[in-house]
Structure 1
Amino acid sequence: MVYVTRLVQESTRKKAAEKERLAASALLTWVVRRELPEWAGKDARELLVYGPHGKPYLKGNPFYFNLSHSGGIVACAVQTCEVGLDVEKKREFSQRLKERICTPAEYLLVSSGSRENENLTQLWTMKESYMKYTGLGFAQGILSTEFRMLGKTPELCSGRANFVCAEFEDAFFTLCTAEPVPLEIMEVRFEDVLENLQ
């Protein structure tokens, strides 16, 4: 399950990023309380442990989670297996950035057709969800992860993981998991998240 909430846009990127980080923490606490009622009075941040590369986990691993935010969208994926999630609002990519994130084969893949920026946004979410899934983040290297196919269930050229992608209003979501799972999205009003935390 992917829980999603939306925030009012801020005037600057810095303010927006800080607000989204705080909202992601609040959403995680809300999700923990919803999924684990026995932990109802606890703040999720108190329950975190970190993997060797800084990926957060809940103590005792009652479930796996991953957080993502972009352009006022905040999301929390919850699964019974290892998970990576990325959300990215649709945007334009500069030629320089396109060359930095695409292998030569991917460059051809995203450039075909009239949806180049949408394809690049999806590819970005695919790569980032995989880097979050492995727990290595950008240390893994964005070009070391190569995809042979876009679409609802993209495929890696090498490596083992399951992907499912979806366009959701003005954004792309990619969920990367150890086992095949559906991408189920549940919207939650941020006011409800905050009310539940009090």
Structure 2
Amino acid sequence: MRGYIDIHINDFDLNTALGQISEQRRQQALRFQYEHGQRTCVLAYLLLKRALKEEFGMEENPLFEYGEHGKPSIVGHPEIFFNLSHCREAVACVVSRRPVGIDVESVGRYRESVARYTMNDEEMALITNAPQPEVMFTRLWTMKEARLKLTGEGINDNMKQVLTEADRKSYTTVECLEQGYIYTVCE
């Protein structure tokens, strides 16, 4: 299992790339109103194709089916687990033979009201005592979201307890502060 990251969101020909992906993904990409959303949707799929080729030898365009809370899986390949994520600065993908989740987020302005709504007291202490609260908040947020994507639950009303319930999960967090993003893989 390894994470794949691509920061070259504007460095490819979108029309050419739309011809290299499945019709299902093309339709998903074209539903985005703005070009940036289309680009990240297409690039995430291309990154998945690369990962599937490198890790599993798959050459064909994968088709998705979706679980109860929207977690995608690859039609005809129940042995392969994957997850995609994107933000303004980067697109992320992870593939594995076990359930896995990934989240990439832009490091932005820290808002205490959002943190208080989503973080428990211990996490709030980590954030408020950090030299860069926005970095610590983003780090914890990516951990929470990667775990929820692994389980297929998605964002819910129990965000404060996500990490306390997950002590046996493995997290790998990478801070790319020069590029303005952080990502976490949870397995």
**TM-score, scaled relative to structure 1:** 0.72
Change (3 A) 1:140 1:31: farther
1:162 to 157, 165, 170: 170
Structure 1, unmatched stretches of 5+, are 146-155, 178-198
Shift of 1:101: 1.8
Given that 1:8 and 1:72 are in contact with CA atoms closer than 8 Å, whether structure 2 keeps it comes out as: no
Greater strand fraction, Structure 1 or Structure 2: 1
Contact 1:16 1:72 in 2 (8 A): no
* Cα distance change on mapping 1:140 and 1:101 into 2, 3 Å: closer
RMSD: 2.2
CA distance in 1, matches of 2:61, 2:128: 45
Unaligned runs of at least 5 residues, structure 2: 12-32
Deviations 1:67-113 (A, max 9, x none): 11111301111122110101112211222222222122211121113
Q: RCO (CA 8 Å, sep 6+): is it higher in 1 or 2? A: 1
State the match for 1:110 in structure 2.
127
Deviation per residue, 1:23-61 (Å, 9 max, x gap): 112222232233333x42x212x2x23222221112332
Contact 1:20 1:72 in 2 (8 A): no
Aligned match of 1:3: 4
* Aligned-residue identity in percent: 28
SS of equivalent residue, structure 2 residue 5: strand
1:52 is aligned to 2:68? yes
User: Which of 25, 30, 46 lines up with 2:45 in the alignment?
Assistant: 25
Q: Please give the alpha-carbon distance, in whole angstroms, between the structure 2 residues aligned to 1:135 and 1:86.
A: 13
Q: CA deviation at 1:14?
A: 4.3
Q: CA deviation at 1:140?
A: 6.0
The alignment of Structure 1 onto Structure 2 pairs a total of residues equal to 160
